[in-house]
Amino acid sequence: MNRARAAAILSSAALAPRAVLAQGAAPYKLGVSWPLTGPLAAVSVDYLKGAQFAVDDVNKAGGIKGHKLQLVVEDSAATPQGGITAMRKLVQVDGVQAMMTIFTNVVTAQIPLADQLKIPTISTVESPGLFAHSEYSFSHAPTWGTTLPQMLAYWKSHNITRIYGFLTNSAIGLLQSAALQKGVPQIGGTYGEALLEADATDVRGPIERARSANAQVVILTGQGAAVEALAVKTIRELGLTAQIWAFGQSYTSKVYHDAVGPYGEGLVMGGLYLDPNISNAFARQFRSAVGYIPAYISGEWYDIVKMYAYAIDKVGYNAEAIRNAIATMKGVPSVLGGTITMGADHYSEFGAAGLWLVKAGKLVRLPGTHAMGGSLS
């Protein structure tokens, strides 16, 4: 995806809100470090649309005390250095008082910089425990750390003992690798893996190793990267019958859904599902604008903008005050259903995460499993 396409997405419906906003009032800017280029750019574009819809909704309602919200986007290329450069530019040049970001490797690099710059930063990172020593960084997402115990319990109860990982060679993939290497032996299983590069175009070698291991389950990182869709297709085209699992639920991302095609049938994915029946207004808005229902991460990004809007309306456009409002946030409505409460660990509390099976092209709760995590109340 190029910058021109990203700009077109972010400027959509931008003219209509201006009439209801105070003339001459400076916009309240939300900085966004985002992969506009690189192997994760394509799957990420849907997510950012969720944030823009929230901005449009805030501005159509008159903005925040007459000031419109504005997303200011810099390309992170989904790399640590790209994330650092983007954050410095957004904070030190553009003067944003709040940041939004994505992907574990980028966020891990940005955490100390956020504390140094004293800039509140919210991501959709699903890696557990990442913010244990951070003051300014938060996540609005369920973690795969709540997903793995239920995966292990399911495998044990169904006598699934041979697990093989096709994890991305990234910060999140390495964390998942360590957790699987520890957890699978505890249920009496064996674990092997091959780390996949995000830009790989041929994964036949690693998949043949899984065949040699006689894997019953192969598990993916679940970021929805192109290499993961390639792995799904190649596994099935090479005739492996192992069930395919993923830590993250990327099936409802249109890019990923279209990439896996019919090979998505039978996938098991962890995480959230944005149920159109629960999030019907947002789902209708999204579908009306782009032609398909949103992925759950689009809903998380809609929420993040609304979290910032709530904080700014309450305490003003000031980084330190916004940070404090986010840290103590409770009872803010979520487009995913229920309300948002920020936990002491700097992760918002979710109760709707679970394990999902792709059946007849739709997501259903994996039989024998239930919702996980804390309360989205």
Looking at the domain that runs over 144-271+353-365, which CATH code has it been given? 3.40.50.2300
Q: Where are the beta strands (DSSP E) in 97-222?
A: 99-101, 121-123, 137-139, 162-168, 190-196, 217-220
Task: Give the count of beta carbons closer than 10 Å to the beta carbon of residue 177.
Answer: 18
Interatomic CA distance for residues 302 and 304, integer angstroms: 6
Predicted model pTM? 0.86
Third-level CATH fold of 3-142+277-341:
Rossmann fold (3.40.50)
The DSSP letter of residue 134 is: -
Task: Give the count of beta carbons closer than 10 Å to the beta carbon of residue 190.
Answer: 13
**Contact call for residues 75 and 82 (beta carbons, < 8 A):** yes
Task: Give the count of beta carbons closer than 10 Å to the beta carbon of residue 208.
Answer: 14
pLDDT at 58: 96
What is the amino acid identity at position 60?
Answer: K
Q: Where are the beta strands (DSSP E) in 169-242?
A: 190-196, 217-220
Mean pLDDT (10-residue bins), the chain, 377 residues: 48 38 80 92 84 95 96 96 98 98 96 98 94 95 89 96 95 94 97 93 92 95 91 95 94 90 95 82 88 89 97 98 97 90 92 85 87 39
User: In the chain, where are the structural domains located?
Assistant: 3-142+277-341, 144-271+353-365
Hey, do 3-142+277-341 and 144-271+353-365 end up sharing a CATH topology, with the first three levels equal?
Answer: yes
> What's the half-sphere exposure (Cβ side, CA atoms, 13 Å) at 352?
21
